[in-house]
Amino acid sequence: MKRSFFSVFFVVFIFLGAYAQDKPAIIPKPSKIEWKNSEFQFSSSLTLYADAEAEKSLKWLKTLLNATGSELEKASEKEAIVSLKIDKNLSSSLGNEGYQLKVTSEKIKIEAATNAGLFYGITTLRQLFPAEVENGKITSEFSIPAVSITDKPFYEWRGSMIDVARSFFDLDYLKKHVDRMALYKLNRFHIHLSDDQGWRIEIKKWPKLTEIGGQSAVKNGRAGYLTQAEFKELQAYAKERNVIIIPEVDMPGHTYAALQGYPELSCDNFENLDPKRATPPEPYHGVEVGWSKFCMEKPVVYDFVSDVIAELAEITDGPYLHIGGDEIEDEHYKEFVVKAEKIVRENGKTAIGWEEVTQAKVDDSFISQRWTGTTKSVVDTRIIESICKSFYLDHGNIPNQPNTYSWCKKDGVSLKNVYDFVSENENAIGVEGAVWTELVHSDATADDRLWPRSIAVAEVGWSSPKKKDYSEFTKRLGTHGKRLDYLGINFYKTPDVQWNATKIKGVFSTVEK
């Protein structure tokens, strides 16, 4: 009898252990997750319910469930198998982006205080599905494990930045990036729109910015620009996926592309270009930085800045405009950034800039984006952490990766470097991974630099630092290899991750069919 008992116990133990190992990998790691010893079996038909306020989120649920091949029908809350519900009382415990997801053997229920929370609950449900869901259709019968998840983000700002100024990325790629961000609950998309090599946003009052500056790029890079209509289309696409677009026009340095079309923004004899790596109207294709700036003594420069900020503010849905402000020394610098930041506020937006801007007495509403952490600030502002040794993803995934930078960190910025970041600044509102494109000239290369390190950025931004465990993270990440392949992402196969990957390619569309 005793022997029989332990034999049974051993079999049950092995079964439960194997069952636990087969659990889907949720990224970012939820605040609280409790797996149950049962599962929900998908059937040929599913009944859905969404209360009046949750109707906005129903299309995302339908898009996900369409992949199951089940017939979908609306039903009452009591009779529905899958339900969405807004409960504003949850805001005190879950905030604006948190959610509760409960899967039993009979029902699936998602509750949140807002539609943003429901969206993230649906996103987590998506990760419970087989990876084939990313291809738009699951070809066999399947079930998902029963689970209870209560989840909310650690930081409000969970960002990704792509520099489209050095080498251009078109609307199609930017939309794909938004989709990929949303899967991992990244919610701020910062687009670097202007630099020495190119100007990428249409400004109707100053048309030569794109007529001339939009036609150049870094050597081997791509030229082009976004029309205002395309920019609005991207914002609408992102907004539906709870992603806010942050446009950046860099000033008063990194301005050569603007000077190409409007030489009057330069000083006499182009004394504002030092060294003179190029002079207007010739294009600049190099990678060197810190040599161009506006002639800040000229009143026309402030006319230009006022017009550009006003027009950009008018076409930007989100509350933020980024004014750059990095890598420049000039006696007029502090005066310039104070004026530029004020112009942003006068146009109803909150100004963001690189950390150097905080050398000047800008308004307390200003948000500083730290990339070196060495600037001596004279103002107390909110902070986005983009420290280069942890978040500059144009650096190599591994030491000496070809066509990557190493100026900030000689051995590259590894997945672990990203994941291990912990901010010690009480003013930090979040984190942002950045890809500069002097050496990134194709969609495939951008994918390689962004993924999977952007997934680590996402977990750093969403999950509590106290719960971070790199070894455990890499195990969860490895199971996402097949999912990333189905999404058609040319991600870097980080050596210390055991990837579950496939050569099958596909694209999951979050557009309602």
Sign of CA dihedral 451, 456, 462, 463: positive
The b-or-e profile of 246-259 (16+ CB within 10 A means b, else e) is bbbbbbbbbbbbbb
Tokens read off for 471: 């070894």
Cα–Cα distance, 198 to 290 (Å, whole number): 15
CB 508 within 8 A of CB 180: no
38: tokens are 């049962």
Among candidate residues 192, 187, 199, the one with its CA nearest the CA of residue 161 = 192
* Side-by-side strand order, sheet with 99-103: 32-41, 143-151, 99-103, 108-112, 82-86, 45-50, 71-74
Both tokens of residue 436? Answer: 């500069």
Look at residue 276 and give its three-state secondary structure.
Answer: coil
The dihedral over CA atoms of 131, 136, 141, 145, expressed in degrees to the nearest 10, equals 40
- What is the C-alpha separation between 209 and 312, in angstroms, rounded? 13
Is 225 in contact with 194 (CB distance < 8 Å)? no
Cβ(113)–Cβ(86) under 8 Å? yes
Instruction: Classify 66 as helix, strand or coil.
Output: helix
Residue 269 DSSP one-character state: G
Q: Are 402 and 387 in contact (CB under 8 A)?
A: no
Q: Is the separation of the CB atoms in 513 and 490 below 8 Å?
A: no
Active-site residue, 311 included: no
DSSP-derived letter for residue 136 is T
Catalytic residue, candidates 327, 355, 356, 385:
327
**Token representation of residue 250:** 């860099």
Tell me how far apart the alpha carbons of residues 327 and 100 are, in angstroms, rounded to a whole number.
45
233-241 contacts at long range (C-beta below 8 A, 24 or more positions apart): 233/171, 234/171, 234/174, 234/175, 234/178, 235/316, 235/317, 235/318, 236/317, 237/175, 237/178, 238/178, 238/189, 239/317, 241/119, 241/178, 241/179, 241/181, 241/182, 241/510
Q: Can you tell me the distance from the alpha carbon of 302 to that of 265, in angstroms, rounded to the nearest whole number?
A: 9
Considering only CA atoms, which of 387, 477, 401, 497 is closest in space to residue 432?
A: 387
Catalytic center residues: 327
